[in-house]
A = this chain, B = another copy of it.
């Protein structure tokens, strides 16, 4: 089986979560990830930790949204918050049976539930956490691949094809650290590509080295740009699928940080509606640079796509407080610009990345 469940579980419980004896670790996925879930349970038990498996049945989420009343949208079970507060770590494994299962749910209902469940998210974020993906036929279909081919892809993306995956992640962390040393000195970032010429200010902001311990796979460095700094145009060349809605060919124009013009070849209405969610939805919350060369093409899973080595991504909406970013929004929508076919990222005039390759 690929990726090997036991090796994957070792990477997740060791490198990512560093699970210790006596720790309580909540593990969430669907029944489709059964081989990995069993391997994670075994690995956690061998480490002396307490695995708490929360396995979702196919169809359960779709039915929940179908049957949920106002009460369910505007609150949550107190036991869920208690669990988040009283356990030590959580591992979420995407393993969808149908990646568009929730495409028919009213986005307003989803936003309402997301607001009500904010305390759950915040409590989970205060613990150690990791998010990853197990290859399923639905995930492969979203990527336009055979299931075996997609499984191989996931194996390469997570470095599970390397002799020592944890060591390979540590190497990438060191490489990213050197990149951050250069970026941390910069004020103005500029992205240039066909249809794209955008300037941002990142002076004083903190760059985060995303080394696979929270997202597996990762391979990016990111920060939050100054909220009023974005000027110019950008064309995002990689489609994205927020909540299962495919949006592609997005072009945005920024003035003093705000989106003043927006279009999409596909999903135009969804894009405009999202921009109107709240005032923060028109501002940038993140700029990230993908460094994972094990991820060589888009698959429709943002967990992978934003890490493609040779891409840059911007997120509309909420920024990550640890970057120094201050934008608040219910939205956080990552949009990816592939620079490999011709493009440049520069910092205060120094070329950082040319045609997808980091310049020394």
Contact = CB atoms under 8 A, between A and B. Distances in A.
Interface of A: 21-22, 24, 26, 31, 34, 37-38, 41-42, 45-46, 48, 50, 52-60, 63-64, 67-69, 71-72, 76-80, 82-83, 86-87
Nearest to A58: B34
5 contacts: A26-B79, A45-B68, A48-B71, A53-B60, A83-B83
Nearest to A80: B52
A55 B52 contact: no
A54 B64 CA distance: 15
A78 B24 contact: yes
Given A24-B79, A31-B57, A67 B50 contact: no
A37 B60 CA distance: 9
A52 B77 contact: yes
Contacts of A37: 57, 60
Nearest to A31: B31
Given A45-B64, A67-B46, A71-B48, A59 B77 contact: no
A67 B41 contact: yes
Contacts of A31: 31, 55, 57
Contacts of A82: 79, 82-83, 86
Nearest to A55: B55
A45 B57 contact: no
Copy total for this chain: 2
A86 to B, nearest CB: 5
Contacts of A54: 54
Nearest to A57: B34
A56 B80 CA distance: 18
Given A24-B77, A37-B57, A41-B64, 4 more contacts: A31-B57, A37-B60, A45-B72, A79-B87
A2 to B, nearest CB: 20
A344 B13 CA distance: 61
A85 to B, nearest CB: 9
A57 B34 CA distance: 7
Contact of A42 (B21, B63, B83): B63
Contacts of A38: 57, 59-60, 63
Nearest to A22: B71
A72 to B, nearest CB: 6
Nearest to A88: B79
A204 B173 CA distance: 74
A60 B22 CA distance: 20
A48 B70 CA distance: 9
Q: Nearest 7 pairs between A and B by C-beta?
A: A50-B77, A45-B67, A55-B55, A24-B77, A42-B67, A34-B57, A24-B79
A69 B22 CA distance: 11
A83 B79 contact: yes
Nearest to A50: B77
Contacts of A69: 45-46, 48
Contacts of A26: 79
A71 B20 CA distance: 13
A73 to B, nearest CB: 11
